[in-house]
């Protein structure tokens, strides 16, 4: 089917977002030029209020991965993803009541300073390095996600026109948009520091929600109203949310999402520098807690928007699935395809949606660059050169922003090998974030844990999490454990590949090792729990033995 191209108004809306973001960086650079301290640059002088921080926290982890990945996840696997609202609630409770007070009261800039105060320098250094690896990998996926979904060689013609200048060589487009994203984020991070990041995030949160609402309203109208969408979703088994099967190999069940999801997101929220750095930039602990609870509301709103978008999309394509029919080459492209389909007669709106996808990306990448610069400066540079002048410190912080901006943009190339964006990003958070959660839990909850236990635990946690994570990447789970719900191509004009679903899932190779169908087939949401529990239990045992 012919899908319309981008028109002038789409470019205007899309380019406007990039310009506004860049100008916020310039604004704070000019406004704060008298306050040249690295503290002001990295944690906003600890004078932020709860409102913008709450917006900022929500957008930082609701990237293009959410805007593009979650609706397609719900379209293919059903609405069980909505159970994450329980995980988010538990995560915010633990973060606000257990982790945040410890970090806020200790007056630190980098969460890893706490590990030195509690254990020693070696533990702090090890944790810092793991964090840098985790964040660079994750940011690579986030930069790559919207660019992939919006530019593909075998997508219909509109995709060639989804980047800035509409170069028609698609291969260049993909990397053109990757580079544009990296450059804009690095620019406003380097100029404006944390304050620029937080205020652009607040703007991007608004753009994201408006983009989602536009798709929801128009999609519902096109598909005959809310009741019709709901009925279609019910008939297609898309509303089977509660599956209480305890099998840990099943991709998404009630238990994998609530237990595994809580561990995964606690690694992202409770002990992650990007989150904690924002919370400690609040003017009081009360503001920091309020910011977290307000952000929970934001997480729920974005999750609900993404879920309903997935159901509306299913209703629209129930008898002609564009992915099975080969109109698109990856499930993560469903959402942009749908947008161009339903808004073909409304110039400017597809541009708004693309801006919405890129908003999520810009905010996440900016948060990561800012947090990486802070951690590297506080944990590595300051340790090696304790007597730096304030002016020099600020310049080094800005230099680090540029360095990480380039590095994260380059990592997008590696992200192109990782498969579905939602699963890839949560797997990376699980593999690195789980052991980190374990080591902070050891420090905060168990006063008798010592530094030897912390190091031993960290090594064990990382080993276990990476073993299962890399194993599952090499030997994907058998299709029976993660099979998508049925998708039809009956009414497609090109329905020449109705057996596509069976060929799309990885076939079990005869020489799969013994662990491939057990250990490596664990749900990706349990990676974090394995890393965390492995780290905590080993740490306690070693601490007990070494006293």
Task: Tell me if 109 is assigned to some domain.
Answer: yes
CA dihedral 242, 248, 250, 253 (to 10 degrees): 10
Task: Tell me if 540 is assigned to some domain.
Answer: no
**Two structure tokens written together for 361:** 């990306």
* Structural domains in the chain (count): 1
Task: Tell me if 319 is assigned to some domain.
Answer: yes
400 near 388, Cβ under 8 Å? no
What HEC string does 201-237 produce? HHHHHHHHHHHHHHHHHHHHHHCCCHHHHHHHHHHCC
Q: How many angstroms separate the CA atoms of 79 and 315, rounded? A: 13
CATH number, domain at 353? 1.20.1730.10
Tell me the whole-structure pTM to 2 decimals: 0.84
Task: Tell me if 446 is assigned to some domain.
Answer: no
Residues 6+ apart with CB under 8 A from 298: 54, 55, 57, 58, 59, 62, 205
493's torsion region: left (phi>0), alpha (psi -120 to 50) or beta?
alpha
Q: How many angstroms separate the CA atoms of 547 and 542, rounded? A: 8
> What count of other Cβ atoms lies within 10 Å of the Cβ of residue 494?
12
Q: Which domain holds residue 134?
A: 8-153+167-244+273-416
Query: What is the reported pLDDT for 471?
Result: 92
Task: Tell me if 60 is assigned to some domain.
Answer: yes
Q: How many angstroms separate the CA atoms of 353 and 67, rounded? A: 9
Task: Tell me if 433 is assigned to some domain.
Answer: no
> What count of other Cβ atoms lies within 10 Å of the Cβ of residue 33?
8
Task: Tell me if 382 is assigned to some domain.
Answer: yes
Q: How many angstroms separate the CA atoms of 365 and 181, rounded? A: 8
| Residue written as token pair 């708004």 | 352
Mark the ranges of the chain whose per-residue pLDDT is less than 70: 1-5, 34-37, 39-45, 63, 148-174, 359-360, 416-419, 494-510
Longest CA–CA separation in the chain, Å: 71
Q: How many angstroms separate the CA atoms of 503 and 497, rounded? A: 10
Task: Characterize 385-415 residue by residue with b for buried, 16 or more Cβ atoms within 10 angstroms of its Cβ, and e for exposed.
Answer: eeebeeeebbebbbebbeebbebbbebbeeb
The secondary structure of residue 284, as a DSSP letter, is S
3-class SS at 59?
helix
Task: Tell me if 201 is assigned to some domain.
Answer: yes
């Amino acid at each position: 089917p012919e899908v319309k191209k981008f028109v002038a108004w789409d470019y205007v809306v899309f380019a406007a977002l990039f310009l506004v973001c860049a100008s916020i960086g310039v604004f704070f650079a000019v406004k704060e030029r008298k306050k040249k301290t690295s503290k002001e640059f990295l944690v906003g002088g600890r004078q932020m209020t709860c409102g913008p921080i709450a917006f900022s926290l929500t957008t930082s982890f609701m990237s293009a991965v959410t805007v593009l990945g979650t609706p397609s996840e719900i379209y293919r696997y059903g609405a069980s993803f909505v159970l994450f609202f329980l995980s988010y609630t538990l995560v915010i409770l633990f973060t606000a009541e257990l982790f945040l007070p410890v970090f806020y009261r200790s007056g630190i800039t980098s969460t890893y300073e706490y590990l030195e105060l509690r254990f020693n320098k070696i533990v702090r250094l090890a944790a810092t390095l793991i964090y840098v690896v985790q964040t660079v990998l994750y940011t690579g996926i986030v930069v790559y996600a919207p660019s992939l979904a919006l530019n593909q060689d075998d997508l219909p013609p509109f995709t060639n026109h989804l980047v800035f200048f509409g170069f028609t060589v698609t291969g260049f487009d993909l990397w053109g948009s990757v580079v544009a994203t990296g450059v804009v984020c690095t620019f406003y991070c380097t100029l404006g520091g944390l304050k620029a990041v937080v205020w652009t995030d607040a703007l991007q949160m608004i753009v994201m929600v408006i983009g989602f609402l536009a798709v929801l309203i128009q999609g519902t109208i096109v598909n005959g109203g809310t009741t019709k969408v709901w009925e279609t979703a019910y008939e297609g088994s898309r509303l089977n949310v509660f599956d209480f099967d305890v099998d840990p190999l099943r991709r998404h069940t009630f238990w994998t999402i609530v237990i595994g999801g809580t561990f995964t997101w606690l690694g992202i929220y409770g002990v992650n520098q990007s989150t904690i750095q924002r919370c400690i930039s609040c003017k009081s602990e009360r503001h920091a807690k309020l910011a977290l609870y307000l952000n929970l509301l934001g997480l729920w709103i974005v999750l609900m928007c993404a879920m309903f978008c997935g159901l509306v999309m299913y209703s629209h394509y129930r008898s002609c699935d564009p992915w099975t029919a080969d109109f698109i080459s990856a499930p993560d492209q469903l959402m942009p395809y749908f947008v161009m389909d339903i808004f073909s007669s409304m110039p400017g709106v597809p541009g708004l949606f693309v801006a919405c996808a890129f908003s999520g990306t810009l905010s996440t990448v900016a948060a990561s660059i800012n947090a990486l610069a802070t951690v590297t400066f506080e944990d590595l540079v300051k340790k090696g050169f304790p007597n730096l002048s304030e002016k020099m410190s600020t310049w080094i912080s800005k230099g680090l922003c540029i360095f990480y901006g380039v590095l994260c943009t380059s990592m997008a190339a590696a992200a192109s090998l990782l498969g579905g964006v939602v699963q890839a990003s949560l797997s990376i958070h699980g593999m690195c974030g789980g052991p980190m959660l374990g080591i902070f839990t050891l420090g905060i909850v168990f006063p008798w844990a010592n530094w030897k236990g912390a190091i031993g635990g960290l090594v064990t946690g990382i080993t276990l999490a990476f073993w299962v994570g890399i194993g599952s990447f090499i030997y994907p789970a058998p299709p029976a454990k993660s099979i998508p719900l049925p998708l039809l191509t009956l009414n497609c004009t090109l329905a020449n590949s109705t057996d596509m679903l069976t060929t799309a899932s990885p076939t079990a190779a005869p020489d799969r090792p013994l662990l491939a169908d057990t250990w490596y087939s664990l749900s990706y949401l349990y990676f974090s729990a394995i890393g965390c529990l492995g780290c905590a239990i080993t740490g306690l045992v070693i601490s007990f033995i070494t006293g």
